[in-house]
Amino acid sequence: MTERTLIKDLAAASDGPISVSGWVETVRDQKKVQFVVLRDESGAVQLVHPRNFNEDKTPADDPIADIISGLAQGTFLTATGELKHDERVKLGGVEIKLDALTIAAEAIPETPIAEDSSGDKRMDWRFLDLRVPKNALVFKIQTTFLHALRTYWVEHDFIEIHTPKLMASASESKAELFEVDYFEGKAYLAQSPQFFKQMAQPAGFGKIFEVGPAFRADPSFTSRHATEFTSVDTEFSWIDSHEDVMKLHEELLVAGFQAVKDKHGDEIKALWDVEITVPTVPFPRVPLAEAKRIVAERGYEVPRADDDMDPEGERQIAAWAQDTYGHEFVFLTDYASSIRPFYHMRHEGDSSVTNSYDLIFNGVEISTGAQREHRIDVLIEQAKEKGLDPEELDFYLDFFRYGVPPHGGFGMGLSRVLMLMLHLPNIREATYLFRGPTRLLP
Amino acid sequence: MTERTLIKDLAAASDGPISVSGWVETVRDQKKVQFVVLRDESGAVQLVHPRNFNEDKTPADDPIADIISGLAQGTFLTATGELKHDERVKLGGVEIKLDALTIAAEAIPETPIAEDSSGDKRMDWRFLDLRVPKNALVFKIQTTFLHALRTYWVEHDFIEIHTPKLMASASESKAELFEVDYFEGKAYLAQSPQFFKQMAQPAGFGKIFEVGPAFRADPSFTSRHATEFTSVDTEFSWIDSHEDVMKLHEELLVAGFQAVKDKHGDEIKALWDVEITVPTVPFPRVPLAEAKRIVAERGYEVPRADDDMDPEGERQIAAWAQDTYGHEFVFLTDYASSIRPFYHMRHEGDSSVTNSYDLIFNGVEISTGAQREHRIDVLIEQAKEKGLDPEELDFYLDFFRYGVPPHGGFGMGLSRVLMLMLHLPNIREATYLFRGPTRLLP
């Protein structure tokens, strides 16, 4: 492999021959000297080329100058030359005086997007949009965040599973199901790994995690929905209630935020003016009924006929948690059974309320967790009550017929966490390639 | 959460009160004393209960004995009692004298599968099949293996991406494509993350990885194919040839095998009689044309009209690599252009051969890698030559029009690696829930 130095390592390198590879960000083609700002995945550096002149001061033969004059923004190339530290150079205090330029692939000179392009246009050209360091940094942060979560899981003996995304039936609402032609029959795309991550409990796996895609045929066009998203899931046995799930949830988020703060805190502050706060534990917990009273006292009546919160209510309760506890997170607990899936366990002695929670981060729901109902007779009753046909669920109900431990877990939307962590305006900014009702390309 | 001790930790625990939770593996219901073997995710322990007798030696009131007599295999319960170390106890040198049993969920007494059930039957009841420690261990090993790969990637500044599984067109052969009803139109399930992981290169990400599902509408019923599988992918910029890809591939596998050997080597030896060998680098490399001559010399003529290997040829070349180098891995390189996708780069000066390889492990192909063609004009020509319509590929071809670095990478089937590492007879054994042409349940 070519001896390539990453641009971030130039400051620590010695003056002398060096080779860097990247793409052209800007060209300043002046009469006496030419400048190219070259960017790679780690940073940007100034390449400099003093033009060649004859003794009579007419332009001399100068192949490098000719190449530079023809460079389009975005062209990928390898530059070799002499590294020179010079504190007057604003960009990193170094520059490279060119000896040679080798072009890997020239760019079409007209770039189809600019900084002020619409979100939709930028998504059309996502691969160019991601060249903006701030946009790419989102995914470096995501990598750090996820690796911290996985390291926590692995160190605590959780088993990683990969549940199938092709299913014979719905796992959540049938309204949001994608249908697939599957050989002679039909299959459906998994809306969540719910049934199969629960399967690991009667299988005796104890504690599991999965990070994988989930699919919702949701026709809505909000800033926080996608038809395909990365779901962060965990499920574990022998819990007493959803309180145990919330405790694990807190520990995972602390691990993730600590890693992000350590590795990217300064950059995040510089680029987004956002201070990454490692949340203190325990996070505030508020039963949903109380949360509705609290937001009502703050002057907001949730305009819903059912027992659920609405997005403005979530913002209000987040503001309350911030005012009261100085906390960016708040668990809303004990949701009404009427608005929870049949597999959520209900309170002992009050079946109108579930052992469940939503986690609100900076005003938006990022996760739903619960203790699951593991008693087969109760589970069947709850399915029937929701209008589901137990026969269609038979493969799932079987998981509970041959012994099963009490268990629970949560699912969390990865892009939502990143969006809210970095105060991004839209989930598309935290998604590598967004998928929506009218978006399948690129 | 209940103070629960994992069974593997009992040997190191002090004699005295203790609580364990798990499922009933066996019950020996004798006249004077009862034994239950309880298993959890970490091991098995013997619970013991001496029956109560009256002074006249008639059976006394004995609620624990009544519970034990009624226990079905698979019932999940919590047992509390007195831990006692006793080296005469074969199972771990400890037993628990019971004070109480709390049943979480009773099992139906008739277990639908036994050790000698057919593979298909065992898959019908996969959640019970996975209670067998050896079957579950496959996924603990997989967790360790993947975490080692991810740690390598993260420590080497690779960015994790999650490419969409819903696409507007095929990325590989159209024959193996699953079609999805997508709102008013159609979408297709990603057969690989190929196009989108390549997109990260013009996006300037430099080095990326992804572990996620891939889908092939492949109607074959072999021991190594699945319609949904977990694909381990990486792609990186500024390579000189596929040799750079092979070097990375080697380093990743060394990291993975070292971690598996360190953590599970003894168990693997005990349960499968398999010695985990950390492969030495470099792995043997053989150009495909030479490989065909070698297997012919060994007396096997590959019965194919095209330039490809067949499964028996792969076994033969693996046997040769084992005989010659004592190595379980062998790279077959420089595949003919005729049997490689249009996006593989071809040799400079000989367009009949590609900068590509397959990796053979213990006789079976686990991975394909290549340098990609990044020159747009050459890429379009190669697509046309393969009978593809450049217009349909336009969103992909755009990735190459605005500048792109030379790059390459590989995709590797996770379950295949595990199958071959543990000498399992079938890929289903290394898949949490197998999907095949006639298998969508559970």
**pLDDT class for A185, splitting at 50, 70, 90?**
very high
How many Å apart are CA A387 and CA A240, to the nearest integer? 28
How many Å apart are CA B211 and CA B225, to the nearest integer? 18
**pLDDT value, residue B298:** 94
Q: Within an 8 Å CB–CB cutoff, is residue A160 touching chain B?
A: yes
Task: Give A382: exposed, middle or buried? Use CB within 10 Å, 0-12, 13-18, 19+.
Answer: buried
B428 is in an annotated binding site: no
B251 is in an annotated binding site: no
Q: Are B94 and B85 in contact (CB under 8 A)?
A: yes
Asked if the Cβ–Cβ distance from A104 to B163 is below 8 Å, we say no
User: Of all residues in chain B, what percent carry a pLDDT higher than 70?
Assistant: 100
Q: What is the pLDDT of residues B116-144, one digit of tens each?
A: 999 999 999 999 999 999 999 999 999 99
User: Measured in Å, how far apart are chain B's first and last C-alpha atoms?
Assistant: 31
**pLDDT value, residue A1:** 42
Q: Within an 8 Å CB–CB cutoff, is residue B1 touching chain A?
A: yes
Q: Are A321 and A327 in contact (CB under 8 A)?
A: yes
Residues B278 and B376 in one domain: yes
Q: In this model, does residue B304 exceed pLDDT 90?
A: no
- Give a yes or no: residue B121 inside a domain: no
Q: What is the pLDDT of residues A342-400, one digit of tens each?
A: 999 999 999 999 999 999 999 999 999 999 999 999 999 999 999 999 998 999 999 99
Residues A84 and A135 in one domain: no
A340 is in an annotated binding site: no
**pLDDT value, residue A177:** 94
Q: In this model, does residue A2 exceed pLDDT 60?
A: no
Q: What is the pLDDT of residues B322-351, one digit of tens each?
A: 999 999 999 999 999 999 999 999 999 999
Task: Quickly list H helices, B96-159.
Answer: 119-124, 126-129, 133-155
Kindly provide the residue ranges of all beta strands, DSSP E only, lying in B251-349, ordered along the sequence.
285-287, 329-333, 346-347
Q: What is the pLDDT of residues A328-347, one digit of tens each?
A: 999 999 999 999 999 999 99
Give B 84-143 residues with CB within 8 A of chain A: 104-108, 111-112, 125-128, 130-131, 136, 139-140, 142-143
Q: Are B191 and B176 in contact (CB under 8 A)?
A: yes
Q: What is the pLDDT of residues B189-203, one digit of tens each?
A: 999 999 999 999 999
Residues A55 and A153 in one domain: no
Residues B292 and B150 in one domain: yes
b (16+ CB within 10 A) / e for A222-250? eebbbbbbbbbbbbbbbbebbbbbbebbb
Measure the CA angle with vertex A243, ends A238 and A246; round to 5°. Answer: 100
Number of CB atoms found within 10 A of residue B272's CB: 16
**pLDDT class for A131, splitting at 50, 70, 90?**
very high
User: Residue A313: which residues within 8 A CB-CB, separation 6 or more?
Assistant: A291, A292, A295, A300, A302
- Give a yes or no: residue B43 inside a domain: yes
- Give a yes or no: residue A51 inside a domain: yes
b (16+ CB within 10 A) / e for B166-191? bbbbbbbeeebbbebebeeeebbbbb
How many Å apart are CA A113 and CA B427, to the nearest integer? 46
Residues B90 and B156 in one domain: no
User: Residue B56: which residues within 8 A CB-CB, separation 6 or more?
Assistant: none
| Chain B partners within 8 Å of A159 (Cβ) | 41, 136, 139-140, 143
Give B 298-327 residues with CB within 8 A of chain A: none
**What is the token pair recorded at A252?**
């995972």
User: Residue A172: which residues within 8 A CB-CB, separation 6 or more?
Assistant: A191, A192, A194, A216, A341
Residues B367 and B280 in one domain: yes
Element at B182 (helix H, strand E): strand B179-182
Q: What is the pLDDT of residues B339-385, one digit of tens each?
A: 999 999 999 999 999 999 999 999 999 999 999 999 999 999 999 99
Asked if the Cβ–Cβ distance from A395 to B140 is below 8 Å, we say no
How many Å apart are CA B425 and CA B373, to the nearest integer? 37
**pLDDT value, residue A174:** 81
Q: Within an 8 Å CB–CB cutoff, is residue A392 touching chain B?
A: no
**What is the token pair recorded at A247?**
């405790």
**What is the token pair recorded at A154?**
């692995």
| Chain A partners within 8 Å of B163 (Cβ) | 432-433
Can you tell me which residue has the tokens 């350590």? A262
Q: What is the pLDDT of residues A288-300, one digit of tens each?
A: 999 999 999 999 9
User: Of all residues in chain A, what percent carry a pLDDT higher than 90?
Assistant: 94
- Give a yes or no: residue A252 inside a domain: yes
Chain B: give the shortest CA distance to residue A314, in Å. Answer: 28
Choose among A112, A136, A180: nearest Cβ to B180.
A180
**What is the token pair recorded at B198?**
């390549």
**pLDDT value, residue A154:** 98
- Give a yes or no: residue B150 inside a domain: yes
Asked if the Cβ–Cβ distance from A440 to B111 is below 8 Å, we say no
Q: What is the pLDDT of residues A53-91, one digit of tens each?
A: 999 999 999 999 999 999 999 999 999 999 999 999 999
Beta bridge partners of A48: A35, A97
Residues A145 and A21 in one domain: no
Q: What is the pLDDT of residues B394-439, one digit of tens each?
A: 999 999 999 999 999 999 999 999 999 999 999 999 999 999 999 9
| Chain B partners within 8 Å of A207 (Cβ) | 41
Longest dimension (CA), chain B: 99
CATH number at residue A398: 3.30.930.10
Q: What is the pLDDT of residues A156-184, one digit of tens each?
A: 999 999 999 999 988 777 889 999 999 99
How many Å apart are CA B65 and CA B71, to the nearest integer? 10
Kindly provide the residue ranges of all beta strands, DSSP E only, lying in A15-142, ordered along the sequence.
16-29, 33-40, 43-50, 76-85, 94-105
Q: Are A404 and A198 in contact (CB under 8 A)?
A: no
Instruction: Answer with the one of B44, B74, B105 that is the final residue of a domain.
Output: B105
Q: Are A256 and A149 in contact (CB under 8 A)?
A: yes
Three-state DSSP at A67 gives: helix
Q: In this model, does residue B2 exceed pLDDT 60?
A: no
- Cis ω on the peptide bond leading into residue A109 (within 30° of 0)? no
> Whose CA is closest to B235, among B368, B133, B118, B327?
B368
Strands B364-371 and B407-413: antiparallel
A415 is in an annotated binding site: yes
Residues A170 and A134 in one domain: yes
Query: Which domain range does residue A250 map to?
Result: 126-430
Residues A199 and A82 in one domain: no
Beta bridge partners of B33: B50
**pLDDT value, residue B1:** 42
Chain A: give the shortest CA distance to residue B33, in Å. Answer: 25
**pLDDT value, residue B245:** 98
> For B397, phi and psi rounded to 5 degrees?
-65, -30
User: Of all residues in chain B, what percent carry a pLDDT higher than 90?
Assistant: 94
Residues A322 and A291 in one domain: yes
Residues B134 and B71 in one domain: no
Choose among B127, B142, B203: nearest Cβ to A130.
B203
- Cis ω on the peptide bond leading into residue A284 (within 30° of 0)? no
Measure the CA angle with vertex B408, ends B406 and B411; round to 5°. Answer: 165
Angle between helices A133-155 and A414-421 (to 10 degrees): 120
Task: Give B16: exposed, middle or buried? Use CB within 10 Å, 0-12, 13-18, 19+.
Answer: exposed
Asked if the Cβ–Cβ distance from B111 to A402 is below 8 Å, we say yes
**pLDDT class for A3, splitting at 50, 70, 90?**
confident
- Cα–Cα distances (Å) from A246 to A117, B6, B138, B166, in that order, read 41, 21, 29, 32
> Whose CA is closest to B272, among B435, B149, B92, B429?
B429
Asked if the Cβ–Cβ distance from B1 to A238 is below 8 Å, we say yes
A372 is in an annotated binding site: yes
**What is the token pair recorded at B12?**
């190191």
| Chain B partners within 8 Å of A128 (Cβ) | 202-203, 402
Beta bridge partners of A160: A209
Q: In this model, does residue A220 exceed pLDDT 90?
A: no
- Give a yes or no: residue B439 inside a domain: no
**pLDDT value, residue B305:** 83
A333 is in an annotated binding site: no
Beta bridge partners of A232: A211, A412
Q: Does the interface ipTM go beyond 0.90?
A: yes
User: Residue B224: which residues within 8 A CB-CB, separation 6 or more?
Assistant: B364, B416, B419, B427
Element at B315 (helix H, strand E): helix B311-325
How many Å apart are CA A347 and CA A373, to the nearest integer? 10
- Give a yes or no: residue A158 inside a domain: yes
Q: In this model, does residue A199 exceed pLDDT 60?
A: yes
| Chain A partners within 8 Å of B246 (Cβ) | none
Give A 178-237 residues with CB within 8 A of chain B: 178-183, 185, 187, 189, 196, 199-200, 202-207, 212-213, 215, 217, 219, 227-228, 230, 237
How many Å apart are CA B404 and CA A24, to the nearest integer? 11
- Give a yes or no: residue B235 inside a domain: yes
How many Å apart are CA A335 and CA A67, to the nearest integer? 65
Higher pLDDT, A232 or B303: A232
Can you tell me which residue has the tokens 């993350």? B193
Three-state DSSP at B90 gives: coil
Residues A15 and A71 in one domain: yes
> Whose CA is closest to B208, among B160, B254, B241?
B160
Can you tell me which residue has the tokens 């999805």? B180
Beta bridge partners of A287: A333
**pLDDT value, residue A138:** 98
Nearest CA in chain B to A377: B105
**pLDDT class for B172, splitting at 50, 70, 90?**
confident
CATH number at residue A38: 2.40.50.140
- Cα–Cα distances (Å) from A429 to A122, A365, B164, in that order, read 10, 17, 15
**pLDDT value, residue B173:** 75
How many Cβ pairs closer than 8 A exist between chain A and B?
Answer: 299
Asked if the Cβ–Cβ distance from A168 to B441 is below 8 Å, we say yes
Say how many domains are in chain B. 2
